[in-house]
Amino acid sequence: MAQKEQLKGPFLRSGMDVRGMMWAMMSCLILTAAHFSLRYDGAYFPRFLLVVFLGWAMEWLYGLLCDGRSVWPRVSTGVTGALLALSVPAHMPLLPLLCGLLVAVWFGKCIVDRSALRVNPMILGRLFLMLVFAAPIQEWLAPGREISAITSATPLGLYKAEGITYGLGKLITGSIQGDWEGVYEMLPGAPGEVMPLLALFFGVILYWMGVLDWRPGVAFMGSFAIACAFLKMPILFHAAAGSVIFTSVYVITDPRSTPGSKAGRWMAGAVAGAITAAVRWHGYYPEGVVFGVLAANLLAPTLDRLAFALRGIFPIIGKKFRPFSNRWKLLS
Amino acid sequence: MHRPIQSISRELPGRPERLLLLPDQLVFPLDARTHRGAVQTCVRSGETLGAGQVIAEGEWQTLHPPLDGVGTEAEANRGVIRPSSEQTPMAADPMPLDDRARLPDYLRLMGLVGMGGGCFPYARRLARLLDKPPHTLVINAVECEPGIGIDESLMLHEKRFVLEAVNTFTRLLGMKRTVLAVRRSARGHLETAWGGEAIDWLEMSDTYPGGAGKLISAKLTGHMPQPGTLNSDLGILITNVASLRAFGKRLLEGCPSVDRPLTLLTPNASARQLLVPLGISAGDVLRTCGVTLDAERQVLVAEGRMMGRAVELGFCVGKGTNALMVLNRESRWERPEQPCILCGSCFDACPLTLHPIGMANRIRAQRRSRALEAQLNTCFLCGACSAVCPVDIPLVQIFREGKQWLRKNS
Ligand code: SF4
Ligand code: SF4
């Protein structure tokens, strides 16, 4: 009975717990990897699993070395490993990839996650790869080939080099193959981004299950589209090529690194979208999501504080009610 | 993203059953906190008491036993009566009321409080309103706590008492309009009983906490009331159905507030609506209804899953006890909290669009600010944010403590 006294309400809980949320996300990422493996490269799936398990091993090792105890790794670390494996070229050499994974897990998950800083660990790992292993992270090889006979390009790379847009229908269904005028061999991009329709489908499922919030993703895509229009870039091509949709479903929605408040989420999504478009327009890299998301992540605590402080100035905002009837005015 | 907590019950609430039993004792708390003001017992040890006789009085509140019995010495802020008959009262004459000035005293003598859980004395509430009476009376029949159906049951089966109370309030206070606030899905069956009355219907959502006074006045007026604004400042008097029924019973049958209509919910059985004598223990209620509590696997909750608390079998039914629930224990209730993952579910769940985890962090760090005060004063501790937190942060408990901390330091 004494124990019962300590039970605290509410005695009804809605939605999943955090493990359930992470496993739901993990399942979608595993299916995405399986899809890539079935359609483009049979050897990819075991490699994907290897990266996920190595991510877990790294977290376990960190616990052993730094905290002196063996801790069961978290599902969210598996999600970080899976996201990283799905965001880099399928044939990226394993050594740089593992360095990126180490940065993502040790710094992103084990160190930054415990601090007040909010950065998506996968983005941290990817940023490390872009800065330190700039060549391997941009090398797209056809399955089974060690080196390319002719220059290969992803749709986004082709746009960057030649200003040519790839067919929209092919882009959203992930039908990327053949060559462009005998100059470039067309290859799909990173495994996670090849079929935006699939990412969108999983996004809807995760939203329906209560795992994702739609606001940051919608704000990201909306501001990306507006920025593209402003910079006179083809909006639909840019939305479908590269990892815009993958990011809006899996990355910008990451709870730990985006603001918690609704207003903060809208703002963070908008910032990330605009910066992504700007980098695509005039950056060194064809893809700009890493910089966009990183900027939004670094702004997250400030955006949350701002949203909170505004409630002191406007105590009741956000919710508007339709007056019950205009008889109210007559009475009051 | 969170899933709203649905209040919908599939069954139509049944007729309230009067619970006839002879308990060992009836216990009445005498502390000032429960009654929102000091009450003094006027019972001597060994004194024979009749049902409905005054046993304690305060400035705004009076207590009466529901059964005949013998008084004992008041101890530890509670009065105990040993009942001698299981007959609930009470053969008295109607006690109509025509004088508005007498209203607060009438309500004090019958011991009427807000029976929605707040237990605020009606006498005190109405005394404030006599100078500037409200123009709109709202019957709050929005049963938003999942599983509770007692208010809807009273609306359907004890209509004459409720209607009498409504008519008396509107007549005495000169109110221009009566609004019946109901859950959207409950309107259909309530219309069968109340369709012919001269009232306006206000449909609230089928999700928790659709019946909160703040949300009702927001829907009525079109804006959320600013922090510190009382409904009476807006010309609205929101009344609970059980309180109206008690008032109507006094008007029509002369009976003071001595019983408590409540919902009894048990696993694998339909909810039962009961009329329970005040002061009786939850154990007696369960025993009389043939319910056993397996303390290992189950927990007894009073006053609803969302705003209620876990109690023991010795818990005594008070004027604010609108439900007793035997619930199978869930591991999530006992799990320790983990660090916030900033999923944003609590932000989505808050009906007032507050920043729950922002408030909780600032309360724990004791970082006071204007924004924190404004939000904490607005929060009405509905618990919707706690219910959706995937890492089990006890947000509502933190806010309760935070409110006390603010009060202490203001
Ligand atoms: S307190 Fe709970 S519900 Fe709110 S953001 Fe944190 S984890 Fe999510
Ligand atoms: S307890 Fe307060 S903060 Fe939490 S949902 Fe209810 S009103 Fe909002």
For B43-84, the DSSP string reads --TT-EE-TT---EEESS-EE--SS-EEE---BTTEEEEEE-
pLDDT of residue A141: 65
A324 touches chain B (CB under 8 A): yes
Question: Which of B295, B333, B358 lies at the smallest CB-CB distance from A308?
Answer: B358
Q: Which two tokens stand for residue A30?
A: 């595993």
Q: Which of B341, B378, B385, B406 to mutate to test the interface with A (most CBs of A within 10 A)?
A: B341
Round to whole Å and give the CA distance between B260 and B245. Answer: 10
DSSP single-letter state for residue B6: B
Q: Is the pLDDT of residue A316 over 90?
A: no
A163 touches chain B (CB under 8 A): no
Average pLDDT on A143-159 reads 65
Distance A57 CA to ligand 2 centre (A): 40
Q: Which two tokens stand for residue B285?
A: 């209620």
Q: How far is CA A323 from CA A238, A317, B181, B306, B378, in A?
A: 43, 16, 14, 28, 20
A332 and A217 in a common domain: yes
Residue nearest to atom 3 of ligand 2 (CA): B356
Q: Which two tokens stand for residue B372?
A: 């924190």
Please name the helix (run of DSSP H) or strand (run of DSSP E) that holds residue A36, with its range, or none: helix A18-39
The nearest alpha carbon in chain B to A207 belongs to B1
Q: Over the Cα atoms of chain A, what is R_g?
A: 22
Which one, of A246, A83, A120, A101, lies nearest residue B342 by Cα?
Answer: A120
Round to whole Å and give the CA distance between A129 and A90. Answer: 14
pLDDT of residue A4: 46
A321 and A248 in a common domain: yes
Q: Which residue type does A311 have?
A: R
Whether B354 lines ligand 1, by a CB cut-off of 6 Å, is: no
Residue A6: which residues within 8 A CB-CB, separation 6 or more? none
Residue A55: which residues within 8 A CB-CB, separation 6 or more? A73, A77, A78, A80, A81, A84, A101, A104, A105
Round to whole Å and give the CA distance between A273 and A293. Answer: 8
CA B112 to chain centre: 12
- Tell me the residue length of chain A: 332
Q: Is A289 exposed, middle or buried (0-12, 13-18, 19+ CB in 10 A)?
A: buried
Question: Which of A1, A10, A260 lies at the smallest CB-CB distance from B347?
Answer: A260
Quote the Cα angle for B288-B155-B139, to 5°.
125
Q: Which residue type does A60 have?
A: W
Structural domain contains residue A202 = no
Main-chain phi, psi angles of A73, to 5 degrees? -65, 155
Instruction: Spell out which residues of chain B touch residue A13, defining contact as CB-CB under 8 Å.
Output: 330, 332-333, 387-388
A231 and A164 in a common domain: no
Whether B364 lines ligand 1, by a CB cut-off of 6 Å, is: no
Whether B379 lines ligand 2, by a CB cut-off of 6 Å, is: yes
Q: Provide the H-helix boundaries in A283-323.
A: 289-313
Q: Which atom of ligand 2 is nearest to the CA of B209?
A: 6
Residue A277: which residues within 8 A CB-CB, separation 6 or more? A223, A224, A227, A228, A231, A233, A238, A288
Round to whole Å and give the CA distance between A332 and B183. Answer: 25
* pLDDT tens string A85-103: 999 988 888 999 999 999 9
Average pLDDT on A245-267 reads 92
A236 and A159 in a common domain: no
Peptide bond into A10 cis (omega under 30): yes
Which one, of B235, B136, B219, B220, lies nearest residue B176 by Cα?
Answer: B136
B37 touches chain A (CB under 8 A): no
CA B55 to chain centre: 22
Q: DSSP per residue over B193-208, as a string? A: HHTTSS-EEEEE-SBT
The confidence band for A322, taking pLDDT boundaries of 50, 70 and 90, is: low
A332 and A218 in a common domain: yes
Task: Report CB contact under 8 Å: A316, B378.
Answer: yes
Residue nearest to atom 7 of ligand 2 (CA): B379
Residue A144: which residues within 8 A CB-CB, separation 6 or more? A43
Q: Are B143 and B7 in contact (CB under 8 A)?
A: yes
Q: Are A209 and A16 in contact (CB under 8 A)?
A: yes
* pLDDT tens string A5-29: 468 889 988 888 888 999 999 999 9
Which residue range is the domain that position A286 belongs to?
A: 213-332
* pLDDT tens string A153-201: 677 777 777 777 777 777 777 777 766 666 666 777 788 988 889 999 9
B146 touches chain A (CB under 8 A): yes
Q: Please measure the distance between the N-terminal and C-terminal CA atoms of chain B and give it in whole angstroms.
A: 36
pLDDT of residue A284: 79
Question: Which of A255, A315, A323 lies at the smallest CB-CB distance from B378?
Answer: A315
User: Looking at CA atoms only, how far is residue A3 from chain B in angstroms?
Assistant: 10
Residues of chain B with pLDDT under 70: 1-2, 8-10, 76, 87-91
Q: Are B302 and B324 in contact (CB under 8 A)?
A: yes
Q: Is the pLDDT of residue A330 over 50?
A: no
Q: Provide the H-helix boundaries in B314-383.
A: 331-334, 345-349, 356-364, 370-378
Q: Is the pLDDT of residue A150 over 60?
A: no
A93 and A34 in a common domain: yes
pLDDT of residue B89: 53
Distance B343 CA to ligand 1 centre (A): 5
A247 and A155 in a common domain: no
Query: What is the CATH topology of the domain spanning B100-253?
Result: Rossmann fold (3.40.50)
Locate tokens 């007549």: which residue?
A: B171
More confident site: B228 or A208: A208
Q: How far is CA B30 from CA B46, B71, B309, in A?
A: 18, 14, 20
Rounded to 5, what percent of chain A is helix, strand, coil? 65, 0, 35
Round to whole Å and give the CA distance between A90 and A107. Answer: 23
Round to whole Å and give the CA distance between B201 and B214. Answer: 17
ipTM field: 0.86
Q: What is the average pLDDT score of chain A?
A: 84
Task: Report CB contact under 8 Å: B338, A261.
Answer: no
Q: Is the pLDDT of residue A32 over 90?
A: yes
pLDDT of residue A332: 44
The whole model's pTM is what?
0.84
Beta bridge partners of B276: B260
Q: Which long-range contacts (CB under 8 A, 24 or more apart) does B329-332 make?
A: B329/B297, B329/B298, B329/B299, B330/A11, B330/A13, B332/A13, B332/A17, B332/B392
Three-state secondary structure call for residue B41: strand
Task: Enumerate the domain spans of chain B.
Answer: 100-253, 345-408
User: Looking at CA atoms only, how far is residue A331 from chain B in angstroms?
Assistant: 7
Q: DSSP per residue over B250-282, as a string? A: HHHH---S-EEEEEEE-TTS--EEEEEETT-BH
Structural domain contains residue A5 = no
pLDDT of residue B317: 93
A72 touches chain B (CB under 8 A): no
Q: Are A238 and A280 in contact (CB under 8 A)?
A: yes
Residue nearest to atom 1 of ligand 2 (CA): B381
More confident site: A230 or A175: A230
Measured from the alpha carbon of residue B402, the closest ligand is 2
Peptide bond into A16 cis (omega under 30): no
What total of structural domains would you count in chain A? 3
Beta strands in B72-174 (DSSP E): 78-83, 136-140
Round to whole Å and give the CA distance between B169 and B163. Answer: 10
Tell me the torsion sign for CA atoms A278, A280, A285, A287: positive
Q: Is the pLDDT of residue A2 over 50?
A: no
